[in-house]
Each structure stands twice: as C-alpha cells, then as structure tokens.
C-alpha cells in the first residue's frame, strides 16, 4: 500500500492535474510548431488574423464606422479577459505572446495601409 501514497502536498484520491500550459490553445500551438508540414498553414492563419485585425483597426479608427468600432471594443475586452491570469501572475505564456504579437502585427499592418493611402 505504500506505493499508493499520494505525493507530499497532494490530496489522496486526486489525479494529476494537467499543467497550466497544457490548455487547448497551447496544445494546438505546440502541434503547429512541432510539425514542419503545418508551418505554411500556420503562417496563412497568422497572416489572415493580422489582416483581419488591421482591417478592423482601420475601419474603426480611420473610417469611424460603428460596427468595426464595436468589434474592436469586443476584441480588446476578450484580449484583456483572456490575458487576465497572465497579467495577475506577471508572466506571459506562449499563447499570450502570440495574441499580443497578433495585435502588434495588426497595428503595423494598419499603419502600413494608412501610409500607402489604401483608404483615401
């Protein structure tokens, strides 16, 4: 029966909880990074998300359209809500870094669209 004793600090009868990093998004991200055949698909998905974010930023800020403005507020709320645990713990997990990178890429793409005069 000694081999069934729980580890120190663990309650008896509880199973091992998955690591915090092992949520669904982290597993998908690790799958895409671990399999070189999926890199083109991941790149297309990332560029699509950056383009979509840039379009929302440009239409909400430059064109001052109502529905993209609401979408932008909703996306900002969801981003802060999703990053809440990382903000409180003062650390960024890989998925959080990816989300912030998508926002930065979207902002850069929106600035490039404005600079190129795409909406004049």
Q: What is the per-residue pLDDT across 78-99, written as a single tens digit (0 to 9) for each?
A: 888 888 888 888 878 878 888 8
- State yes or no: pLDDT of 103 exceeds 90: yes
What one-character-per-residue DSSP string does 13-42 give? TPPPPPPGGGSHHHHHHHHHHH-GGGHHHH
Sign of the Cα torsion 29, 75, 71, 103 reads negative
What pLDDT, on the 0 to 100 scale, is given for residue 14?
A: 45
Q: What percent of the chain has pLDDT over 90?
A: 26
- State yes or no: pLDDT of 13 exceeds 50: no
The residue-averaged pLDDT of 97-112 equals 92
DSSP structural state of residue 88: H
Copy the structure tokens of residue 85: 């645990």
Using CA atoms in the order 101, 104, 108, 109, what is the torsion angle rounded to 10 degrees?
A: 60
- State yes or no: pLDDT of 21 exceeds 60: no
């Amino acid at each position: 029966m000694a081999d069934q004793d729980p580890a120190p600090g663990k309650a008896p009868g509880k199973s091992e909880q998955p690591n915090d990093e092992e949520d669904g998004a982290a597993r998908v991200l690790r799958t895409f990074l671990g399999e070189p055949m999926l890199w083109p698909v991941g790149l297309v998905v990332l560029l699509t998300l950056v383009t979509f974010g840039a379009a929302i930023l440009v239409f909400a800020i430059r064109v001052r359209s109502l529905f993209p403005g609401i979408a932008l507020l909703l996306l900002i709320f969801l981003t802060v809500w999703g990053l809440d645990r990382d903000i409180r713990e003062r650390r960024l997990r890989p998925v959080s870094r990816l989300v912030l990178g998508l926002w930065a890429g979207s902002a850069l793409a929106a600035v490039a669209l404005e600079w190129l005069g795409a909406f004049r």
